[in-house]
Amino acid sequence: MVYLTRRVTFSAAHRLWSNHLSEAEVLNLSDMKRIINEQVVDRVDHKHLNYDVAWLEGVIPTAEMLAIKFWERLQRAFPSGLLYEVKLHETENNIATYRGEA
């Protein structure tokens, strides 16, 4: 027996809101995407991490070190206390997670 599977996706509008959270406790996903792109992705995408990214100078760009450096940039850009973790997928099998531990 052969089984066929098809994955489908869709786009729809909706609003997620909780009366239990204040404006300061809620972050819009489009704002999150903008911050991540401005602070990290736009600065490292298609770059040689050893030579082209000034804030990585002197850092050996392992997944672990990149997660820490990305955390440092994002923590300053997100509203205080809202950044929980940075998870960097180096490959589908290798993932570095950092939660701001000292």
Which is catalytic among the residues 23, 46, 92, 101? 46
Chain centroid to Cα 100, Å, comes to 14
Q: Is 46 marked active-site?
A: yes
Phi/psi of residue 95, each to 5°? Answer: -135, 135
In single-letter form, the type of residue at position 62 comes to T
Which is catalytic among the residues 25, 38, 85, 90? 90
Encoded tokens for 82: 């809202």
Encoded tokens for 27: 């972050």
Residue 57 neighbours by CB distance under 10 Å: 8
What residues are annotated to the active site?
46, 90
